[in-house]
């Protein structure tokens, strides 16, 4: 079993299985309250979306969503130590097993659902009860002040977290099977002028994975914990575990307890209360019997709840200094519908002219700004220079291509710039200009597969797959596309260029079948940029895959060709030749079909 000190000093990364927006947001608010620089939630296992918007402080963030535990990228998986399982009772077992199979070194979990089948609960105890700290099934989770919040424990809004001072490490441990009472006691500890060291809601189902004894030993062995506050109720024998531990001198720290359910004595027969365990089966499971047994070994167990709250003020407390936390500011966060970020920072304007002269701001200024906007991060000088070169080379490729033709025809129809540009841009697709992204997908899959170029090409041929990035109508072996040769020069700047090398190896295979199946401009743009992003900007394979999914690579054609289309539009407006009509001799006339008599 992990110690509380290990939790304080260890990784606090959480994977969420299922979703409960308020609980997830409360954990992020706790992180912010505790002064963390980044959220503890690494991602959400949810197969129906790629990301979900939340807030870290007042800043909007996107938490990534994954189909399963294995889909979490290695860079993120390395941070994971905890599972927050928000699945339904019938799914808890399988998802918990899957999590610990994927993360065997993880410290523990919280199982939120009620009514987990008892056979599932007992099997989880058998597998993980001795090694993992698992709160539940049922309950609100666990919290270590200033370090970890796993579940709804302590509340689900910023005001509750602030009022309970959960960002301030303290020395009072709170333990209960009741989720609701756990939260009430955390708040009561704060109102008594004390601060929480940690709290665990063991769970209200009959078979919690982590036992009361385990939790009490965590408190006993934690140097920061000076006293224990416990809430119990009629039914079950948990309180006798406390008695046994104190009698055996294994539990020596002061315990303040309240046992609810004396009202049961007013009925002719014992009553079932809220939790599965809250049912008296024997006389010694009544609230009064357990209260008396606790008092007999020195536990302070008041008769009434107000007396219980007063006793909290007398508990020993180590020194503390509260964190400053503006809960109201968090409550007033804007709830925008769309997930957005600032593409351009306008807080400070760049200097273009100084002392009457133009300020030189770099050779790839526009490409740098464009990449920052598209990627949301700083990029290397090599990447900026390469994209600048791509922009320059792809502005135009003559007026015969479909996009330019559409732009010119629309302009001659009297339409405005935006309409004409849109007409041209709408032709961009897999057959014209939109193949860079698919070419990048081809090279990425080929390199990651580890097979030879010949094997890769043969497999693609069997599947009837077109190799994007290969083939040209005009150029062929012996007559290369000059744009390809120009962009290939950037590989000289790289120590390794595995994607470009693979693309050339594929070309060596395909050109033996047809001289026109050469590496084209789409293929070279994609392959060299993949190498630059890996070598110079340290993109992982997972991050490259994400760029493919959002069609980043096609932007390298759309941005410069937009300029080319506008140039063709302006040329047509200047010439003003009027509405375009296709000459009659170029029309294809379908031959008439004579009906048989």
Predicted confidence (pLDDT) per residue in 18-44, tens digit: 989 999 999 999 999 999 999 999 999
Poorest-pLDDT segment among 95-109, 139-153, 328-342, 432-446: 328-342
Local confidence band at 480 (pLDDT 50, 70, 90 cut-offs): confident
pLDDT of residue 593: 55
Name which of 311, 289, 290, 309 is nearest 300 in CA terms: 311
First to last CA, the chain: 93
- Identify the residue with better confidence: 431 or 214: 214
Local confidence band at 594 (pLDDT 50, 70, 90 cut-offs): low
Q: DSSP class of residue 530?
A: H
pLDDT of residue 137: 95
pLDDT of residue 117: 94
Q: Using the CB atoms, write b or e for 35-44: b if 16+ within 10 Å.
A: ebeebbbbbb
Phi, psi for 18 (deg, rounded to 5): 90, -170
pLDDT of residue 276: 47
Rounded to 10 degrees, what is the CA torsion of 461, 464, 469, 474?
90
With vertex at residue 352, the alpha carbon angle to CA 346 and CA 355, rounded to the nearest 5 degrees, is: 130
Reply yes or no on whether the pLDDT at 45 is more than 90.
yes
Average pLDDT over residues 465-472: 90
Name which of 397, 393, 412 is nearest 570 in CA terms: 412
C-alpha to C-alpha distance for 130 and 85, rounded to whole angstroms? 19
Reply yes or no on whether the pLDDT at 412 is more than 80.
yes
Average pLDDT over residues 536-559: 94
What is each CA distance from 157 to 27, 29, 109, 172, 312, in whole angstroms?
9, 8, 21, 22, 25
Where do the structural domains in the chain lie, given as residue ranges? 4-312, 372-575
C-alpha to C-alpha distance for 378 and 272, rounded to whole angstroms? 61
Give the architecture-level CATH label for domain 4-312: 3-Layer(aba) Sandwich (3.40)
Average pLDDT over residues 159-173: 93
Q: Using the CB atoms, write b or e for 536-552: b if 16+ within 10 Å.
A: bbebeeebbbebbeeeb
Reply yes or no on whether the pLDDT at 155 is more than 60.
yes
Reply yes or no on whether the pLDDT at 351 is more than 90.
no
Determine which one of 110, 120, 270, 275 is catalytic: 275
Phi, psi for 159 (deg, rounded to 5): -65, -45
Average pLDDT over residues 358-384: 84
> What percent of the chain lies above the pLDDT cut of 90?
70
> pLDDT tens for residues 169-184?
999 999 998 899 999 9
Is 110 an annotated catalytic residue?
no
Reply yes or no on whether the pLDDT at 306 is more than 80.
yes
Reply yes or no on whether the pLDDT at 523 is more than 70.
yes
Average pLDDT over residues 275-301: 78
C-alpha to C-alpha distance for 12 and 79, rounded to whole angstroms? 7
């Amino acid at each position: 079993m992990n110690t509380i000190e290990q939790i304080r000093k260890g990784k606090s990364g959480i994977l969420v299985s299922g979703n409960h927006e308020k609980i997830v947001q409360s954990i992020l608010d706790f992180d912010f309250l505790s002064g963390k620089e980044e959220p503890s939630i690494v991602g959400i296992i949810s197969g129906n979306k790629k990301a979900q918007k939340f807030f870290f402080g007042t800043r909007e963030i996107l938490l990534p969503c994954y189909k399963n535990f294995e889909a979490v990228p290695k860079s993120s998986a390395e941070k994971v130590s905890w599972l927050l399982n928000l699945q339904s009772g019938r799914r808890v077992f399988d998802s918990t097993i899957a999590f610990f199979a994927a993360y065997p070194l993880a410290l523990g979990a919280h199982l939120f659902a009620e009514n987990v089948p008892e056979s599932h609960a007992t099997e989880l105890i058998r597998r993980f009860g001795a090694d993992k700290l698992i709160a539940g099934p049922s309950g609100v989770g666990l919290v270590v002040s200033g370090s970890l919040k796993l579940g709804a424990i302590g509340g689900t809004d910023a005001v509750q977290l602030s009022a309970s001072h959960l960002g301030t490490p303290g020395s009072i441990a709170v333990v209960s099977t009741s989720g609701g009472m756990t939260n009430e006691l955390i708040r009561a500890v704060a109102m008594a002028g004390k601060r929480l060291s940690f709290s665990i809601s063991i769970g209200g189902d009959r078979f919690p994975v982590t036992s009361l004894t385990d939790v009490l030993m965590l408190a006993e062995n934690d140097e920061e914990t000076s006293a224990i506050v416990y809430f119990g109720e009629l039914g079950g024998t948990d309180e006798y575990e406390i008695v046994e531990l104190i009698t055996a001198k294994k539990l020596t720290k002061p315990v303040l307890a309240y046992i609810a359910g004396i009202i049961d004595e007013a009925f002719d027969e014992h009553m079932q209360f809220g939790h599965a365990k809250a049912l008296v089966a024997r006389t010694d499971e009544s609230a009064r019997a357990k209260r008396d047994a606790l008092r007999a070994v020195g536990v302070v167990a008041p008769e009434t709840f107000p007396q219980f709250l007063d006793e909290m003020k007398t508990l020993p407390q180590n020194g503390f200094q509260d964190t400053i936390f503006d809960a109201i500011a968090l409550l007033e966060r804007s709830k925008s519908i769309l997930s957005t970020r600032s593409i351009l920072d306008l807080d400070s304007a760049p200097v273009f002219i100084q002392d009457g002269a133009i300020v030189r701001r770099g050779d790839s200024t526009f490409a740098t700004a464009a990449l920052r906007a598209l990627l949301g991060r700083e990029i290397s000088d090599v990447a900026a220079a390469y994209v600048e070169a791509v922009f320059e080379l792809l502005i135009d490729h003559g007026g015969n291509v479909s996009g330019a033709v559409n732009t010119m025809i629309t302009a001659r129809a009297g339409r405005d710039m935006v309409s004409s540009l849109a007409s041209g841009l709408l032709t961009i697709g897999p057959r014209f200009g939109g193949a860079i992204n698919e070419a990048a997908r081809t090279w990425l899959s080929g390199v990651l597969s580890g097979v030879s170029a010949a094997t890769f090409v043969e497999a693609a041929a069997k599947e009837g797959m077109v190799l994007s990035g290969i083939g040209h109508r005009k150029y062929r072996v012996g007559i290369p596309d000059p744009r390809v040769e120009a962009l290939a020069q950037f590989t000289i700047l790289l120590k390794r260029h595995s994607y470009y090398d693979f693309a050339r190896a594929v070309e060596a295979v395909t050109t033996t079948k047809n001289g026109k199946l050469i590496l084209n401009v789409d293929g070279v743009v994609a392959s060299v940029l993949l190498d630059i992003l890996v070598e110079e900007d340290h993109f992982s394979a997972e991050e490259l895959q994400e760029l493919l999914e959002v069609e980043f690579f096609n932007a390298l054609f759309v941005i410069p060709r937009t300029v080319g289309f506008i140039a063709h539009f302006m040329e047509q407006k200047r010439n003003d030749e009027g509405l375009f009509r296709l000459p009659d001799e170029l029309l294809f006339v379908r031959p008439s079909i004579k009906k048989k008599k």
